[in-house]
Amino acid sequence: MIDHTRPNIARVYDAILGGKDNYAADRAVAAQTQRIVPEIRDVARDNRAMLGRAVRYMVKAGIRQLVDLGSGLPTAQNTHEVAQSVASDTRVVYVDNDPVVSAHGRALLAENDRTTVVTADLRRPKAVLDHPDLRAAIDFDRPVGMMLVSVIHYLNDNEDPTGIVRAYTNALAPGSHLFLTHFCAGTPEALALEQALLSGLGTGRFRSTKQIAAYFDGLDLVPPGVVHLPQWRPEGGVRRPLTIAQRLMVGGLARKPA
């Protein structure tokens, strides 16, 4: 049973992106974020655009298995669509703890036998990694692209986000990649947005670029490293200086060495 009266992370994000899978309570939180950062939709779009570039990078580098943790409601250019447009044999497992996200994903993917949807809480890496549907799709003896896109900032410090990310990367074979984006602290707008997410959704923890870069410790960062999203291997030119909105998130992609 969906509670429409309480805002929810996946639906607020959908509302910010301009999607249709959201309710008044979600739109109210989205509107609050837009009052703080009028270009908030660009932040979400930059995040999706970097997701597309990073997925293309991983598949072109030979990765044929992707695990998208905290995958969200289906939108334009979903991970499997991007990946399978580069190499049609790429297998994708979507993991989200929101049953509505899973239901939409399953409906979208009914006819795609290389894509799997798992309902699980990414804060329990062992349960996720041992999930029979994930194990059926992913061979952990071969390189995997592990994705944590715009989701680790919904984990509080006392939930040990570093340990959780590490549990996933420890399970990966050499040549695997970690792709992560995250809200970053350091501007008045970031502070106000963090407060709005905390009061609207009950969760939100923006971190410094240094803290976010530490999630990649032990891995080899793909140049240019952990940077603001539009600066990560842009396909067109980047306007400088970055806008306030463009400085709200950072992301990076790294390879696990042998």
Contacts with ligand SAM, residue ranges (CB under 6 A): 9-10, 13, 47-48, 51, 70-72, 96-98, 101, 121-123, 149-151, 154
Chain centroid to Cα 77, Å, comes to 13
| Shortest Å, Cβ 114 to ligand SAM | 19
8 A C-beta contact, residue 50 and residue 141: no
**72 versus 145: smaller Cβ distance to ligand SAM:** 72
**181 versus 241: smaller Cβ distance to ligand SAM:** 181
| Shortest Å, Cβ 149 to ligand SAM | 4
| Shortest Å, Cβ 141 to ligand SAM | 25
Of 108, 121, 103, residue with least CA distance to 79: 108
C-alpha to C-alpha distances, 12 to 6, 34, 65, 158, 185, nearest whole angstrom:
10, 11, 29, 24, 20
Chain centroid to Cα 207, Å, comes to 15
Encode 90-102: b = buried (16+ Cβ within 10 Å), e = exposed.
Answer: bbbbbbbbbeebb
| Shortest Å, Cβ 10 to ligand SAM | 3
Give the amino acid at 203: T
**107 versus 141: smaller Cβ distance to ligand SAM:** 107
| Shortest Å, Cβ 62 to ligand SAM | 23
**89 versus 121: smaller Cβ distance to ligand SAM:** 121
Residue nearest to ligand SAM (CB): 72
C-alpha distance across the termini of the chain, in Å: 46
**30 versus 254: smaller Cβ distance to ligand SAM:** 30
Where does residue 60 rank: exposed (0-12), middle (13-18), buried (19+ CB within 10 A)?
exposed
| Shortest Å, Cβ 209 to ligand SAM | 18
**73 versus 172: smaller Cβ distance to ligand SAM:** 73
